[in-house]
Structure 1
Amino acid sequence: SNGTRPDGERVYSIIRSRLQKVDEKKLLGIKRTCSNPIKEDMQELLSCTNIIFHCAATVRFDDTLRHAVQLNGTATQKLLLMASQMPKLEAFIHISTAFSNCNLKHIDEVIYPCPVEPKKIIDSLEWLDDAIIDEITPKLIGDRPNTYTYTKALGEMVVQQESENMNIAIIRPSIVGATWQEPFPGWVDNLNGPRYLRAIKATPMAVADLIPVDTVVNLTLAVGWYTAVHRPKSTLVYHCTSGNFNPCNWGKMGFQILATFEKIPLERAFRRPYADFTTNNFTTQYRNAVSHRAPAIIYDFYLRLTGRKPRMTKLMNRLLRTVSMMEYFVNQSWEWSTYNTEMLMSELSPEDQRVFNFDVRQLNWLEYIENYVLGVKKYLLKEDMAGIPEAKQHLKRL
């Protein structure tokens, strides 16, 4: 009540007074945990952990270099230090990104060296002030588009240098999308809002290297098994991508998304689904002004007139900033080698290949996109499928 954190003894007494009927042994367990939970948790982690899946990271493209290095570099370094003290550890699986070396056109399943040693960067960012860091950031990231891709490459180098005698593997997924099969088709928990866009600067023939999230999970589990059981002599890198196995370009994907939104419209659609690919800056700026910002301003004016809070202009500006950061990735294609991924596939038994399926050659893009749109309606927007006829009428009015 006074804003302070009660000590362990007080927590124990509060729990005891509330739960008189709870078994005494359980209460003693709670008391022990409250006495020094951090130390005991750490001891349990160090003594009992068999495998680590390191998925934590910042994925913001516009993050500052200091924050991105702290989360994608320093935190990885500290976790590896903890892992080196785990006597029962069998494997350390690090999740990176297929775009960690996006400055290259062909990317092999190897760890590419950084121009500056990761330890020097991590140490220097501890004492440099923000102004200096902002000034040196473009020089450090070089021909990479943002701090995210740069620090994920940095994290891979940290893994290679700090691994000592551990069994380590690195997984590089591309653009992670809704589920393909599990727990059910089309499950999704986030969306950046492209349904509001009418035009985007993108190359229609560029490969949209989308990968379902359950595919990434299945590969991750399989890599964990192979690394722990077979103990490769060196750190293996696995590319989790779709473009080399089952390519689908942005133009085809955009057409399928629009066709599905016509077939299964959203209940509260702001505008009728439509999208156009532009290829130069002038056209992009013109379309952003006429097709995006102007309608948002008009809609907010209508909201003000009806006594509601304006929101569309702010949403549209945020969305356009996000899309501008994505332009680098929707205007290019990459080639990723997949020798290790294919090797792992061949190592699995037929039953494991079925249960832990990460073979995207079996993926039907049209079916996947339809399930993706349905997933947005059901799991993200919480819309009732029974409302589709009414949503179609709303679409006609738009």
Structure 2
Amino acid sequence: MHFHPPLSDVVTMVSIPEYYEGKNVLITGATGFLGKVLLEKLLRSCSKVKAVYVLVRRKAEQNPQERVEEMISCKLFDRLREEQPDFKTKIIAVTSELTQPELDLSEQDKETLIDCINIVFHCAATVRFNETLRDSVKLNVIGTQQLIHLAQRMKKLEVFMHFSTAYAYCNQKHIEEIVYPPPVDPKKLIDSLEWMDDGLINDITPKLIGTRPNTYTYTKALAEYVMQQEGTKLNIGIIRPSIVGASWKEPFPGWIDNFNGPSGIFIAAGKGILRTMRASNSAVADLVPVDVVVNATLAAAWYSGMNRPRNVMVYNCTTGGTNPFHWGEVERYLNLSFKMNPLEQTVRRPHVKIYTNSLLLQFWRTVGHILPALFSDVVLRLTGQKPWMMKAITRLHKALMFLEYFTSNSWTWSTDNMTMLMNQLSPEDKKTFNFDVRQLHWAEYMENYCMGTKKYVLNEEMSGLPAARKHLNKLRNIRYGFNTVLVILIWRIFIARSQMARNIWYFVVSLCYKFLSYFRASSTMRY
């Protein structure tokens, strides 16, 4: 059931920046990819926000304020630094550990948060697909539970926004904007994990998660149910992004700062290490730019704060239903982008190919990945260098294995709430907080994404592009030379020993010679 406000309420609504004016905001996971983009956008586009409290874990070598200082020194905050030089005065670091009782907050910090927070954005989560069930439940479920308990005591709280994933219910093909019944009662699971040893937990994990591919999607489904059941007095919104990728427009195109998800795969393709992967050409690659997710989240919190809907509002933040992009197209644009703007020190010319057939995939993995890696490591050893290629290929295959489920299947998501939310925005807010993915041009986005991995993840300068292109041409010439030598070897070993093969060879060569002679004669006659 979706809540729609009366028309009169829509007309009198304040703008999104006006809503955040004077508000105190709490963000968990602010040092993560999504969290830091949310922090930057909130401070830049809602400049009159009063303060942003960020929960930060202790690290032996850094205190929370130092961690925040390091985070905001990255390129993501360049535009904000230019527009609002004193923006850091609004960021308040709070030492916390989500998995500990009472979030491991000091009494003073706890009282401060209870007294002043107006809006909570819960971004913190473990996004590792191969996380153990115990650790995944700790952060994704128990951490959420602890935060809800604190939120219920907050005197001025208006909205609680929770980041989930569009794949929380990937065990079904069509996913509505509702919270589904959980695969297991979260309380019973949490109680069981307390007395089970790690060996037993690992043994029962496959049975518990069932047809879901990993503990991440499983615990995200549990967290949604915990939100709904234990946050009954709260005004809750749940954002479900699909595969979060580089920024589309903000703060500038192609910003990305990690190897997670598709980014690591793209870089491996750009370096010429990744040659083949399992995917279906026709399967939808439901990539969603990080700034689209952040803009939709800020708008959703504004909507819930202004309208106080009766039910938990769920938003499927996806692209496949409105602007589909397929893995076959990802393959094409990857190869094209990295040939036009190559990465430095590529191992081979970028040329990734996708397969659905297991036998073909295994054959080309052996030919394209394993054998060249072994050969490369032998050369490195002989030249006194440390071998690394086989290690890199093993890590790559492991990462690809976790992604195969998502690259080989397609889902459809209802996006009625996303459409409704977009329709509530004023023309000005639609520009400032744009999340209309119908406007997204995939070829341009992929080019910016690939450039973003070069500039922001690998920290390569654009001035190095001519040299990188030269290196790519050199690799092409080496490949042509190798292929020529291979043809001569095949000729000497196989064809030269067979009279029939020689006859076929001579026939093909003479046919080519006749064609060239005819072509030359025709050209001469024209003149």
TM-score w.r.t. the length of structure 2 is 0.68
1:367 match = 444
1:194 match = 268
**Which structure has the larger Rg?**
2
Q: Does 1:356 align with 2:433?
A: yes
1:328-339 counterparts in 2 under 5 A?
328-339=405-416
Cα deviation 1:163-204 (Å, max 9, x = unaligned): 021000100000000000001001110132432211111101
The aligned amino acid for 1:390 is A
Q: 2:374 aligns with which of 297, 322, 329?
A: 297
1:326 match = 403
1:24 match = none
Q: 2:309 aligns with which of 207, 216, 232?
A: 232
Q: 1:58 aligns with which of 107, 126, 134?
A: 126
Cα deviation 1:335-360 (Å, max 9, x = unaligned): 00001010000011010011000000
The aligned amino acid for 1:139 is K
1:256 match = 333
1:167 match = 235
| Whole-Å separation in 2 of the counterparts to 1:41 and 1:165 | 23
1:282 match = 359
Q: Does 1:313 align with 2:390?
A: yes
Cα deviation 1:235-282 (Å, max 9, x = unaligned): 010011010111011101210111111111111111111111111222
Local SS of the residue matching 2:140: helix
| Whole-Å separation in 2 of the counterparts to 1:238 and 1:218 | 12
The aligned amino acid for 1:130 is D
1:129 match = 197
Aligned partners of 2:331 and 2:354 also within 8 Å: no
Local SS of the residue matching 2:195: coil
Change (3 A) 1:37 1:92: closer
The aligned amino acid for 1:134 is N
| Whole-Å separation in 2 of the counterparts to 1:221 and 1:238 | 12
The aligned amino acid for 1:323 is L
| Whole-Å separation in 1 of the counterparts to 2:218 and 2:380 | 42
Q: Tell which deviates more after alignment, 166-175 or 303-312.
A: 303-312
User: What is the deviation of 1:158?
Assistant: 0.6
1:108 match = 176
Local SS of the residue matching 1:126: helix
Runs of 4+ with deviation above 3 angstroms? none
The aligned amino acid for 2:137 is V
| Whole-Å separation in 1 of the counterparts to 2:358 and 2:380 | 31
User: What is the deviation of 1:314?
Assistant: 1.3
Gaps of at least 5 residues in structure 2 are 1-59, 61-103, 476-527
Identity %: 54
| Whole-Å separation in 2 of the counterparts to 1:187 and 1:365 | 16
The aligned amino acid for 1:67 is D
Local SS of the residue matching 1:98: coil
The aligned amino acid for 2:117 is T
The aligned amino acid for 2:128 is R
Q: Does 1:388 align with 2:456?
A: no
Q: Tell which deviates more after alignment, 45-54 or 310-319.
A: 310-319
Local SS of the residue matching 1:203: coil
Cα deviation 1:306-336 (Å, max 9, x = unaligned): 3332222112111110101111100111100
Local SS of the residue matching 1:93: strand
| Whole-Å separation in 2 of the counterparts to 1:201 and 1:164 | 43
RMSD: 1.4
User: What is the deviation of 1:299?
Assistant: 1.9
User: What is the deviation of 1:37?
Assistant: 8.1
Q: Tell which deviates more after alignment, 273-282 or 212-221.
A: 273-282
User: What is the deviation of 1:286?
Assistant: 2.0
2:93 match = none
Q: Does 1:146 align with 2:223?
A: no
Q: Does 1:210 align with 2:287?
A: yes
Cα deviation 1:57-109 (Å, max 9, x = unaligned): 11111111111111111110001001111011111000000000001110000
The aligned amino acid for 2:341 is I
The aligned amino acid for 2:394 is N
Q: Does 1:180 align with 2:180?
A: no
TM-score w.r.t. the length of structure 1 is 0.89
The aligned amino acid for 1:258 is N
| Whole-Å separation in 2 of the counterparts to 1:37 and 1:120 | 26
User: What is the deviation of 1:115?
Assistant: 3.4
| Whole-Å separation in 2 of the counterparts to 1:388 and 1:222 | 39
| Whole-Å separation in 2 of the counterparts to 1:380 and 1:59 | 19
Local SS of the residue matching 1:125: helix
Report the count of equivalent residues. 364
Local SS of the residue matching 1:211: strand
User: What is the deviation of 1:43?
Assistant: 1.2
User: What is the deviation of 1:213?
Assistant: 0.4
The aligned amino acid for 2:180 is Y
| Whole-Å separation in 1 of the counterparts to 2:385 and 2:304 | 56
